[in-house]
Amino acid sequence: MKKTLPISMALTALMSLTGCSTSNDTASDATNGDTASSSQEATTLRFAHFWPATSATHKDVFEPWAKQIEEESNGRLKVEIFPSATLSKADAAYDAAAKGTVDIGSQLQGYTNGRFPLTQITELPGLSNSATQMNCMLQTLYDDGVISSEYEDTHLLFMMGTGPGGIHTIDKEIRKPEDLKGLRIRRPSAIAGDIIEAAGGTPVGLPAPDLYTSLQRGVLDGLSLPWDATGSFKLIELVNTHTNMPFYSSAIMVTMNKDKYESLPDDLKKVIDDNSGMEMAAMAGEVFDGEDAKFMAEAKAKGDTMIDIPDPLNDPAWSAPLEAGTQKYLKDTEALGLDAQAVYQKAKEASAACKA
């Protein structure tokens, strides 16, 4: 009995120590688990744009992009998209991203005239004949540092651009510049406005979401848009006469709040980087070109009037107003102390290199 007691006491002490160790290990594992769980919490990025949720831009460009970001980050990044200007006005998405009101924003540069004067040189007549070419030209100029200074207050993700913009009216045929006289035509940017004005029309500035009701109420006689936007905003239901004339294209950007980007760990930055730049620009261009073709075919199928002016820069009737609009924009940009002519030359070179 005398020998049994010490052994029993020793076993009891050992079990007590083992129990403490097991308890501490369990607590430690739980703490480590909480830390791991915390480090893996998803970061949600709020993405604001003005296109309808039914548009190809939303469904075929932005939603697949958001899904790719989430998959490649293993769920650590989530992108919550707010279409139809619900989180930011159509002309304020860039500023909202710069200030951090939203994490990502997309808008047309032309919605804030004077803010991106060098970028908008790419919108001039004759520089692109497709969205694919426009996107390649824009992204090339950004990547080469020609226009990148205009986006230094954000982290630019990728550039987009529309296909050629024509003129769409209700029962009014536009075959020559004189046909625009007295007509109120919605202009998407100052450049297109200058050309419309030079041709004799009255340019009216309105964001795309307001166009349907403005046409219905007779505030506008017509509008200048690429086919993609004409279909996306249901305007094809109202207009029935189309002048297919590539006299401008619209630049578009997708950009991110700089502080938000910098706050991400390096591996998540890489996910963003891997889904930025020229590859995304090319994908978006294909989507826009596909939509242009689809809606043009739809208008033809319903019997709309089609007027084709494929090369207006060399058309005797249209070359003068187009050249006047081009030179006015370059001169106005030079007056800001910017070397517009040099950028115009760079844009021509990028256009030629990007021609499909």
Pairing relation of β-strands 222-225 and 184-187?
parallel
What per-residue confidence (pLDDT) applies to 19?
Answer: 43
Q: Where are the beta strands (DSSP E) in 170-232?
A: 184-187, 202-205, 222-225
d(CA 230, CA 223): 9
d(CA 174, CA 279): 37
- In order of their start, the domains of the chain are 42-112+130-161+250-289 (3.40.190.170), 166-249+301-354 (3.40.190.170)
Mean pLDDT (the chain) is: 89
Q: Where are the beta strands (DSSP E) in 109-221?
A: 155-161, 166-169, 184-187, 202-205
Phi and psi, residue 328, nearest 5°: -65, -45
Query: Going edge to edge, which strands form the sheet with 104-108?
Result: 77-82, 43-48, 104-108, 251-256, 155-161
* Complete DSSP assignment for 58-97: IIIIIHHHHHHHHHHTTTSEEEEEE-TTSSS-TTTHHHHH
What per-residue confidence (pLDDT) applies to 191?
Answer: 81
The single-letter DSSP state of residue 168 is E
Answer whether 72's CB lies under 8 Å from 271's CB. yes
DSSP three-state, residue 215: helix
pLDDT average per 10 residues of sequence, the chain (356 residues): 41 41 43 44 96 96 98 98 96 98 96 94 94 98 98 98 95 95 90 84 90 95 95 96 93 98 98 98 98 97 96 93 91 97 98 90
What per-residue confidence (pLDDT) applies to 356?
Answer: 61
Crossing angle of helices 319-334 and 190-198, in 10° steps, is 140
pLDDT in tens, 171-207: 999 999 999 999 999 998 788 888 888 888 999 998 8
Pairing relation of β-strands 77-82 and 43-48?
parallel
Task: Render the burial of 16-32: b for 16+ CB within 10 Å, e for the rest.
Answer: eeeeeeeeeeeeeeeee
What per-residue confidence (pLDDT) applies to 194?
Answer: 84
pTM over 0.75: yes
d(CA 145, CA 160): 17
The single-letter DSSP state of residue 197 is H
